[in-house]
């Protein structure tokens, strides 16, 4: 199973926001992970549209979790961020190249069941579950900013 970079970054934004108790910026998140601001910004916009994060304007504004971490299902986030584009093999894609053995092949059905099991499991996992080590996560993210010289040594949460 492979998730897109967009889904990966969306999950990273959520993880970061758990460690921040106040609104922060896409810039701070990008610096903490040493990844593209543009990609983080797109992920944050998606998460805001879906209701996972709230965006506040103004001097003390930024983005923050809109829901409690225990209310955010990792499976749900992935289903939405992948937009149904999780076909494991070509023949499972809506516009995929047809395969000559499709009429008798059992691979696609088997993979579909495995994929359902994957998502069924992740549906039961919450953001709180994967961030139960919140303090350790925060320490690593802040250390990365300081060691890399990014953000002029600003704390990860502004």
DSSP assignment of the chain, as one string? ----HHHHHHHHHHHHHHH-SS-B-HHHHHHHHT--HHHHHHHHHHHHHTTSEEEE-STT-EEEESS-GGG-BHHHHHHHHHTT---SSGGGSTTPPP-TTTTT--HHHHHHHHHHHHHHHHHT-BHHHHTTTHHHHHHHHHHHHHHHTGGGG--TT-
Please say whether the dihedral angle defined by the alpha carbons of residues 82, 88, 89 and 92, taken in this order, is positive or negative.
Answer: negative
Residue 139 placed within a domain: yes
Number of domains in the chain: 1
Residue 11 placed within a domain: yes
Task: Write down the mean pLDDT value for the chain.
Answer: 89
Residue 158 pLDDT class (50, 70, 90 cuts) = low
Residue 45 pLDDT class (50, 70, 90 cuts) = very high
Residue 151 pLDDT class (50, 70, 90 cuts) = low
pLDDT the model gives residue 152? 47
The answer on pLDDT for 124 being more than 70 is yes
Predicted TM-score of the model (pTM): 0.87
| Higher-pLDDT residue of 132, 153 | 132
Residue 156 placed within a domain: no
Closest CA to 98 of 84, 113, 112, 108: 108
Asked if residue 24 lies in contact with residue 64, where contact means CB atoms within 8 angstroms, the answer is yes
Interatomic CA distance for residues 147 and 76, integer angstroms: 34
| CATH at residue 18 | 1.10.10.10
57-99 residue pLDDT tens: 888 789 999 999 999 999 999 999 998 667 778 787 777 777 8
Q: Which two tokens stand for residue 153?
A: 């040594």
Residue 158 placed within a domain: no
pLDDT the model gives residue 32? 92
Residue 153 pLDDT class (50, 70, 90 cuts) = very low
Q: How many CB atoms lie within 10 A of CB 144?
A: 16
Name the residue range of residue 56's domain. 5-151
């Amino acid at each position: 199973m492979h998730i897109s970079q967009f889904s990966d970054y969306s999950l990273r934004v959520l993880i970061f926001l758990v460690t921040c108790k106040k609104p922060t910026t896409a810039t701070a998140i990008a610096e903490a992970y040493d990844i593209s601001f543009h990609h983080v910004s797109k992920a944050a916009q998606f998460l805001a549209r879906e209701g996972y994060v709230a965006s506040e304007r103004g001097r003390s504004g930024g983005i923050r979790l809109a829901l409690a971490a225990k209310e955010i299902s990792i499976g749900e986030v992935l289903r939405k961020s992948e937009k149904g584009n999780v076909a494991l093999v070509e023949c499972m894609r809506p516009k995929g190249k047809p395969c000559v053995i499709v009429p008798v092949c059992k691979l696609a059905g088997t993979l579909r069941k495995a994929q359902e099991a994957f998502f069924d499991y992740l549906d039961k996992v919450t953001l709180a579950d994967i961030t139960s080590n919140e303090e350790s996560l925060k320490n690593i993210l802040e250390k990365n900013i300081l060691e890399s010289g990014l953000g002029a040594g600003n704390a990860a949460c502004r």
